[in-house]
Chain A
Amino acid sequence: MRRHFQAERAVLLCRPATRMAVRMTTTGQDEVKARLAEHLVLLWRYALVLSRRRDVAEDLVQATCLRALERAHLFEAGSRLDAWLLSILHGLWLNELRSNRVRQGAGTVEAGQVLTMDGAGEMDVQVFAGQVLQAVAQLPEAQRSAVFLVHGEGMAYREAAEILDVPIGTIMSRLAAARLTLARRLGGMDGEGPAEVAQT
């Protein structure tokens, strides 16, 4: 069944790819090609944070690089390449989640629902070494994303919101919830009011 979906998806992807294949002249395209490698570590880490699996992350990074090259003509030269690449990676990840759920017989679901329902996936425990990373790995995916982008990469809320395609207020609440949970898991809160807040 899976290969069936793959074949269908290939058909869908053929059209946009046609526009990519030979139009290599724009400066945005040149910039993507020239600077893609600079952002590989960033993509790798974000893929690990999302998927929590090394093998899936490898595939996700490859897919992102290829998609970026396909769409390089759409990249506006001089704008934030890192954010552009991250949003591609995030979109690929969401599509993959959706397809997985379809394949598992759960039918189509909204992206937000997928995000909040994530967590049952198999995790590669070796990826998240150390107390802090382990605590991060146990956060819901939506919170992991926000934490990584804002605290791991130092992005502004607005930038994270654009990459994740959510309102800034959503970033704020995800970060607050993540920090409260982390504070509790990391032993920073011992039965005081904030710990109760974290559980609400």
Chain B
Amino acid sequence: MNGRDDNRVLSDAELAAFMDGELDAERRREIERMIGADPEAGAMLREMTKARDALRGSFDGLPPLPEHLRGFVTEVTAPGASMPRVAPRHPRRGVLALAGFALLAATFLLGVWFGARNLPGLPATPGGELAQHDAESADDWRDAVAAYLALHTPETFRDVPADDALRGKELATVGARLGLDLAPGLVTLPGLTLKRSQLFDYDGLPLAQIAYVDDAGEPVALCVVKASGSSGAKAEAPSFEELHGLNVYHWSAGRHGFMVAGRIAPERLRAMAEQLQARLPG
């Protein structure tokens, strides 16, 4: 510490605040008097003032805003924009992960909302497949869910301990919220280990992810969303699509939309979808 601090007369911080006009009038007058009587404080003030003046405008020398960022903001703030998905420039970096997640979560749940509006059982789509009449909304829903699931790796569930009691409890919670019987025996699948069941919520519209891993540790997920309104879907065979590098089968039953996804062979996934479709009547 310097002598001025020792004497409790004038600290560097206070001198900085004085320069910046951040002190009240009384303290300011006191400091003016001190500076007049203290050459060292006066010298300090001049040096700090020089430094401050050098800073003025210096940040204009930073690189200009990249045009693509401006374009990005134009896109996400356009009237009617629904938080479009962004192609990450640096997909493995954490900060972008934040962006991605905010976006994915948004898109995912917005998608759920749109998807749910078109779920079988709602007046808008009596008896149809999930958002069949509105391919774009349905695609949004599945696309967003798949984008989130695509983030899963074998490491995601690696450290989840085997705990049948806990798995059963999770399934009971999720099933109760979805209005589905999800007894462990109904969702257990050959060659797959049940890892975790989680519930998401969109203004009372429940959505679940039931995660498995296969023998190689590869994650596979069953996602279920439940719409409000009456039931009335007609059963159709699960449909295949490929989204975000994942194989996906999706179908509807009653008031529920189902989707299974993973980086596993389509045939295995279809078998899984068909088994679940038979066991979970919606």
Q: How large is the interface on A (under 10, 10 to 19, 20 to 34, 35 or more residues)?
A: 35 or more
B73 near A188 with CB under 8 A, answer no
Shortest CB–CB separation between residue B88 and chain A, in angstroms? 8
B63 near A70 with CB under 8 A, answer no
Shortest CB–CB separation between residue A105 and chain B, in angstroms? 15
Q: Does A114 contact B (CB under 8 A)?
A: no
A133 near B54 with CB under 8 A, answer no
Residue among B98, B104, B201 making CB contact with A18, cutoff 8 Å: B201
A172 near B14 with CB under 8 A, answer yes
Bound CA span A71–B12, Å: 39
**Count, chain B residues at interface, CB 8 A:** 73
Residue interface bits A136-158, CB-to-B below 8 A is 1, else 0: 10000000000110111000110
Residue interface bits A4-27, CB-to-B below 8 A is 1, else 0: 111101110111111011100000
B54 near A55 with CB under 8 A, answer no
Q: Quick one: which of B44, B93, B94, B102 has the most chain A CB within 10 A?
A: B102
B153 near A3 with CB under 8 A, answer yes
Residue among B93, B94, B106, B152 making CB contact with A20, cutoff 8 Å: B106
- By a CB distance below 8 angstroms, the chain B residues around A179 are 16, 47-48, 51-52
Shortest CB–CB separation between residue A75 and chain B, in angstroms? 13
Known contacts A65-B72, A132-B55, A188-B51, A60 near B95 by CB under 8 Å: yes
Bound CA span A168–B93, Å: 33
- By a CB distance below 8 angstroms, the chain B residues around A34 are 77
Nearest B-chain residue to A46, judged by Cβ: B59
A172 near B16 with CB under 8 A, answer yes
Q: Does B74 contact A (CB under 8 A)?
A: yes
Shortest CB–CB separation between residue A83 and chain B, in angstroms? 17
Residue among B40, B102, B151 making CB contact with A70, cutoff 8 Å: B102
Residue interface bits B1-35, CB-to-A below 8 A is 1, else 0: 11000000001111111001010000000000000
Q: Interface residues of B: mostly helix, strand, loop or mixed?
A: helix
Nearest B-chain residue to A19, judged by Cβ: B203
Bound CA span A136–B58, Å: 9
Which among B108-116, B185-193, B234-242, B253-261 touches the partner chain?
Answer: B108-116
A22 near B69 with CB under 8 A, answer no
B47 near A21 with CB under 8 A, answer no
B54 near A186 with CB under 8 A, answer yes
Shortest CB–CB separation between residue B208 and chain A, in angstroms? 12
- By a CB distance below 8 angstroms, the chain B residues around A14 are 105, 108-109, 200
B94 near A2 with CB under 8 A, answer yes
Shortest CB–CB separation between residue A33 and chain B, in angstroms? 5
B2 near A197 with CB under 8 A, answer yes
Q: Quick one: which of B16, B61, B89, B198 has the most chain A CB within 10 A?
A: B16
B22 near A67 with CB under 8 A, answer no
Bound CA span A132–B201, Å: 50
- By a CB distance below 8 angstroms, the chain B residues around A164 are none
Known contacts A66-B99, A157-B17, A197-B12, A3 near B43 by CB under 8 Å: no
- By a CB distance below 8 angstroms, the chain B residues around A162 are none
B101 near A9 with CB under 8 A, answer yes
A176 near B15 with CB under 8 A, answer yes
A62 near B99 with CB under 8 A, answer yes
Q: Does B155 contact A (CB under 8 A)?
A: yes
- By a CB distance below 8 angstroms, the chain B residues around A69 are 76-77, 83, 106
A183 near B50 with CB under 8 A, answer yes
Seen from chain B, the residues whose Cβ lies within 8 Å of a Cβ on chain A are: 1-2, 11-17, 20, 22, 40, 43-44, 47-48, 50-52, 54-56, 58-59, 61-63, 65-66, 69-70, 72-74, 76-77, 82-83, 86, 88-90, 92-106, 108-110, 113, 148, 151-153, 155-156, 158, 198, 200-203
Query: Could you list 7 examples of A-B contacts with CB < 8 Å?
Result: A6-B101, A44-B69, A49-B59, A56-B93, A169-B13, A172-B16, A197-B12
- Listed from nearest, the 5 A-B pairs whose CB atoms lie closest are A63-B99, A17-B105, A172-B13, A176-B16, A176-B12
